[in-house]
Every structure is written in C-alpha cells, then in structure tokens.
C-alpha cells in the first residue's frame, strides 16, 4: 500500500499564480500565460469580469490495444497520444457568482460542464490557442448564466442574513508528481497472450464468442487555477477485459465480462500466470452459467462476493453522498445525480459492523492502481482523508468551496467530470470490517440465517448491477445442506439505501472495484471502491422475465 502526502502551498487566498513556482513544462507555461492574459483583458460590455479561471489538461497515452476472438487477433490500431483541454470561468463575486445554476433537468444533464477540446496539437502555441478559444467560450457561457441566475434569485425572497455565499476561497495547495515517460511495452508478447488465452474458449462448444483484450494506457493530468492551486499527476495502468457470449441450455443468451486494472510496467512477464489463471477461472464460471437454472422470487439473506460488494456500495452509498449541493433552481434537487445523504449527518445510515473511509491520497492498494488518487482537488484545495461512517452513523460528508450549510469548509473533494463542473465527489472508498470473517465463515453464516428463517437456500451474488438493467450476471444458490447451484435470470428489486443497514458481516479479503464511469467513453475510472465480501440480512430478488432468444438457423462453425 502506498500513501502519498500532499504538501500545502502557503498562499494568500487571492494571490497571483506567479507567487508560486510552477513545474517547468509547456503545459503550465501555456496555462499560466493564457490565464494571466484572460484575467487582465477578458471583458464583455455590460457583463461582470471573470474573478476565477481554472484549466485542466489531460494527456492520454494509449498503446495499441491487443485483442483476439477465439484465438484470432484483431488488427492493432496505432499508438495514440491525445491531449484534451478543459476550461471553466466564474464571473460575479464570491457572494453571488455564475455557477450552481441550471435552467432545467436537461440543462443539468447536458450543459453544466466545462468547455472542452479533444485531440488538440501538442505544443506550447497550440495549447495556448486552444485555451484561448475555450476561455472565450467559457466566459460567454458564464456571463449568460450569471444573468439568468440573478433573474431567478430576484423571484425569491431570501433573507441576506441566512444566505450562503456561492464560493468560499480556501488556502490553495499543490502537488507535483514526477511524471516518467510511459514505459516500453512488449506488444508482441501481449498479442501472443491474447491469442493463446482467447483460443481456450474453443474448448467450450456453447461459447459463441470469447474475447480478450489488453490496453496499456497512461493518463497525465495538469491543473491550474487563478487562486494559485495546481497539481500534476499520472495514472499508468493496463486495462484487461474478457468478454463472452453464450446461449445456456435453456436457450437464453448470456453476455458475461470480467475486467481488471493492472499496474503498468515494462516487465509484463509477471502477468502471464495471472492472466492464464483468470482466463481459466472465467471459463469455469461460464461452464456453470451454461448449466444454470432459472431464478425465482426470493426475499432473504444474500452474500455479496467482494467483486459484487463494490458495485453494491456504488449504487446505495456512493451515489447518495455525492453532488450534495443542489443546483438552482429547486427542481434540480430531484435529479438522480443529487445526493440524498446531505440531511443524514449524525444519523444511522449503515450497519455498525463496518466503517467507511475516503482516502484520496492513496495511489494504489497492495499494488493495484486506484483511480481516485487526488492529492489536490479541482478547486486547488488539499484533499483530506475522511472517515465517512462510525458505528453506523454518517460522520462526514465530502465538501467543496461551494457550501451547502452555514460555516462549512471544503475538505478537498471537488472533482471535475466529463458531465459536470466540479461538485462533491468521493475518491477511494475503503470498507473496514470490525470483525472480519473468512469466506467459509460468511457462507456458514448465510446457511445459519436461512435455517433460522426456514428457507431452503440463500443466494451468493458474484456481480451486482449498477445501470438500468437490474439483472445480476452471475448468481449461485447455496442450499442449507451446502450444495450449490448456478442461477440465471435474477434481478435486484426495490433497492434503497435501507439495504446498507442490513449488512451483518464482512469478509477479510478486499477487492478493488473501479466505479462505473459517467460516460461510456471514459477510458480510466475516476473512483475506486476497496471492499471485502458483505453478508446482507435481506435483499429482494426476482425473475427478470426476459424471453429466450431466437437460436441461429445455422449452427456455430
């Protein structure tokens, strides 16, 4: 485990960027030059001048993806090196500014975001040109929104004594990671592996497709704001994905996948045994999926394997503790992306058998890369480790420089996403069990609970749905006599945050789950969940009522 400390830069709240020494590279030189120029000269007749500007550059180095289907390789695309730029501008002042306002739900979903350019040329002049265009667009956008926001506020009878400021400047911080050149990868060796391991799927006649891909990638991020905060970090990783399509014995089409983020390093030879083992394990799982029986209505105890616990927590905890400050107007509070735990501080929200922590300064866990590494947030504030729950109570919330209650201070959890300007977000969510149990003990506890309730069996979930499709990909029945049986066609019903209070035990081995990206095109995860297996006292499952697919008219070759 590696914990990286963030060093605070002692600045006045509104000191110029020049008061701090920035990294000596073209990214920061271009950002600073264009930011200084914009702050001095950017004006729109009849509109307020900008009082805050922030830039973010992301350099995404993509190695060729090596992929194969049942032993046959796909053509490799060329190595790519994509630079993207983000810019956002705030006008008005810290009491009333241009951020935090939306017209309606559609606007909140599609327009409350930074201005962005993708695939800009790499070079000082090209970066400045791109930032110039983005800053102009962001400024026009901010001035228009400012006028709309002021018109809306005039319709509200607000007591100035209770009105919160829109933006509270905080001491700015910096973090500069030494970014090394992306390592050299033996692409031919990776290609041999995907061909060899994907070819193992030919041994299973029921498999229509068996696909394996490996994509090494390195993301470099450079951030600067006009208050003096900045950071420079890198996220090197290797994305490995298995995907299979099959038709089970009852004729239902099944699609299964398995994904890992591995550390990116030149010596990839150590991963051959890991990839071989994971391929064989996945094929064994697919064999049981073929033999699975249909699911039935069930209400009772459920054991979530460690790889299912992360998505479960993402659905019922993470989504409810993020984006806590509602966007104006008030109807935006009903948006799904607005967290519901804002009013739950000091209340019981989860079982007391585990405590939850958010650790933004952890870059990896036992060698596994963590996507939530964020020593400085996207408002330039040092990101603090938070104990979120203690003995079942919610004791902390992620906060930004945009307060949602009087006297609140940022704890460095503002994060920009492709779909939103910086809002309250978690980074690396850690689950710590107070009395961890082995996997065998958790199964015994599941059986014991089923016997107490007079149930013939309980369920073990090795997957948990987080999207619109509530079907669980991989389920197993555990009978009270110890026998197991694979099941298909089950979905999770009526899932609410109440399920967090039904956690009765936790395992002793954690699994790193990358949280689902907000956009399908996101290449790297922005958050990670590190959780052991969890035993729930009660969860409702039911048939997904999907119908069998039409069989191919001609058999598989």
Distance from C-alpha of 497 to C-alpha of 144, rounded to nearest angstrom? 38
Which candidate, 233, 229, 176, places its Cα nearest to that of 20? 229
What is the average pLDDT across 245-250?
91
DSSP class of 346: T
pLDDT for residue 20: 60
Whether residue 393 is predicted with pLDDT greater than 90 in this model: the reply is: yes
pLDDT in tens, 365-392: 998 999 999 999 999 999 999 999 999 9
pLDDT for residue 110: 64
Q: Is 180 exposed, middle or buried (0-12, 13-18, 19+ CB in 10 A)?
A: exposed
Phi, psi angle pair for 544, to nearest 5°: -85, -5
Q: Of 269 and 132, which is predicted with more confidence? A: 132
pLDDT band at residue 509 under the 50/70/90 scheme: very high
- Residue ranges and CATH numbers for the domains of the chain are 2-242 (3.30.2290), 329-432 (no CATH)
pLDDT for residue 5: 33
pLDDT band at residue 525 under the 50/70/90 scheme: low
Distance of CA 84 to the CA centre of its chain: 19
pLDDT band at residue 518 under the 50/70/90 scheme: very low
Which candidate, 427, 263, 431, places its Cα nearest to that of 361? 427
What is the average pLDDT across 2-21?
38
What is the average pLDDT across 276-283?
96
Whether residue 103 is predicted with pLDDT greater than 50 in this model: the reply is: yes
Whether residue 175 is predicted with pLDDT greater than 80 in this model: the reply is: yes
pLDDT for residue 17: 36
Percentage with pLDDT > 70 across the chain: 90
pLDDT band at residue 187 under the 50/70/90 scheme: confident
pLDDT for residue 2: 39
Whether residue 548 is predicted with pLDDT greater than 80 in this model: the reply is: no
Pick left, alpha or beta for residue 435 (phi over 0 → left; psi -120 to 50 → alpha; otherwise beta). beta
pLDDT for residue 185: 85
Average pLDDT, the chain: 89
pLDDT band at residue 553 under the 50/70/90 scheme: confident
What's the pTM?
0.92
Q: Of 504 and 335, which is predicted with more confidence? A: 504
CB 104 within 8 A of CB 140: no
CB 198 within 8 A of CB 71: yes
Q: Of 153 and 162, which is predicted with more confidence? A: 153
Q: Of 186 and 131, which is predicted with more confidence? A: 131
pLDDT for residue 520: 36
Q: Of 279 and 327, which is predicted with more confidence? A: 279
Percent helix, percent strand, percent coil in the chain, to nearest 5? 25, 35, 40
pLDDT in tens, 219-237: 999 999 999 999 999 998 8
Whether residue 514 is predicted with pLDDT greater than 50 in this model: the reply is: yes
pLDDT in tens, 444-474: 999 999 999 999 999 999 999 987 889 998 9
Whether residue 10 is predicted with pLDDT greater than 50 in this model: the reply is: no
DSSP characters over 442-493? HHHHHHHHHHHTT-SEEEEES----SS--B-SSEEEEETTS-EEEEESEEEE
Percentage with pLDDT > 90 across the chain: 70
pLDDT band at residue 76 under the 50/70/90 scheme: confident
pLDDT for residue 4: 35
What is the average pLDDT across 79-90?
91
pLDDT for residue 63: 86
Residue 142, C-beta contacts closer than 8 angstroms, at least 6 positions apart: 50, 88, 89, 90, 91, 98, 99
pLDDT in tens, 398-444: 999 999 988 889 999 999 988 889 999 999 999 999 999 999 999 99
Q: Of 336 and 492, which is predicted with more confidence? A: 492
What is the average pLDDT across 90-109?
83
């Amino acid at each position: 485990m590696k914990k990286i400390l963030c060093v605070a830069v002692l600045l006045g709240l509104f000191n110029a960027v020049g008061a701090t020494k920035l990294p000596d590279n073209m990214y920061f030189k271009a950002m600073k030059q264009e930011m200084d120029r914009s702050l001095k000269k950017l004006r729109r007749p009849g509109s307020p001048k900008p009082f805050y500007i922030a830039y973010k550059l992301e350099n995404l180095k993509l190695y060729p993806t090596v992929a194969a289907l049942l032993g046959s390789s796909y053509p490799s695309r060329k190595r790519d090196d994509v630079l993207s730029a983000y810019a956002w501008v705030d006008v008005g002042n810290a009491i009333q500014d241009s951020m935090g306002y939306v017209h309606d739900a559609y606007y909140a979903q599609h327009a409350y975001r930074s201005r962005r350019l993708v695939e800009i040329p790499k070079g000082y002049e090209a970066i400045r040109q791109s930032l110039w265009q983005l800053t102009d667009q962001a400024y026009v956008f901010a001035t228009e929104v400012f006028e709309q926001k002021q018109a809306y506020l005039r319709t509200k009878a607000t007591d100035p004594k209770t009105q919160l400021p829109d933006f509270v400047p905080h001491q700015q911080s910096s973090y500069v990671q030494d970014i090394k050149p992306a390592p050299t990868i033996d692409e031919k060796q990776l290609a041999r592996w995907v061909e060899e391991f994907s070819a193992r799927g030919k041994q299973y006649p029921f498999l229509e497709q068996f696909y394996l891909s490996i994509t090494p990638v390195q993301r470099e991020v450079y951030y600067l704001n006009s208050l003096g905060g900045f950071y420079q970090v890198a996220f090197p990783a290797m994305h490995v994905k298995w995907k299979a399509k099959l038709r089970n014995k009852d004729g239902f089409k099944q699609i299964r996948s398995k994904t890992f983020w591995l550390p990116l390093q030149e010596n990839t030879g150590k991963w051959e045994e890991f990839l071989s083992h994971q391929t064989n394990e996945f094929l064994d799982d697919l064999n049981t999926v073929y033999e699975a029986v249909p699911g039935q209505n069930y209400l009772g105890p459920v054991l979530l394997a460690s790889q299912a616990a992360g998505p479960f927590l993402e659905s019922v905890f993470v989504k409810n503790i993020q984006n806590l400050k509602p966007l104006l107007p008030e109807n935006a509070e009903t948006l799904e992306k607005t967290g519901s735990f804002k009013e739950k501080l000091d209340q019981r929200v989860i079982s007391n058998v585990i405590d939850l922590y958010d650790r933004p300064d952890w870059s990896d866990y036992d060698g596994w890369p963590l996507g939530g590494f964020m020593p400085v947030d996207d408002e330039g504030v040092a990101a603090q480790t938070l104990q979120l729950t203690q003995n079942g109570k919610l004791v902390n919330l992620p906060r930004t420089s945009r307060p949602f209650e009087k006297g609140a201070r940022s704890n460095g959890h503002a994060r920009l996403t492709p779909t939103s300007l910086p809002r309250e977000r978690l980074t690396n969510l850690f689950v710590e069990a107070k009395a961890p149990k082995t996997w065998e003990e958790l199964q015994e506890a599941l059986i014991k609970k089923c016997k107490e309730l007079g149930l013939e069996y309980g369920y073990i979930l090795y997957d948990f749905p987080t999207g619109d499709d509530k079907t669980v990909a991989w389920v197993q029945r555990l009978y009270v006599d110890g026998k197991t049986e694979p099941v298909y066609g089950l979905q999770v019903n009526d899932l609410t945050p109440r399920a967090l209070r039904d956690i009765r035990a936790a395992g002793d081995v954690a699994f790193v789950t990358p949280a689902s990206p907000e956009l399908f095109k996101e290449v790297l995860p922005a958050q990670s969940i590190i959780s052991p297996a969890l035993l729930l006292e009660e969860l409702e499952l039911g048939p997904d009522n999907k119908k069998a697919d039409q069989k191919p008219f001609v058999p598989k070759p």
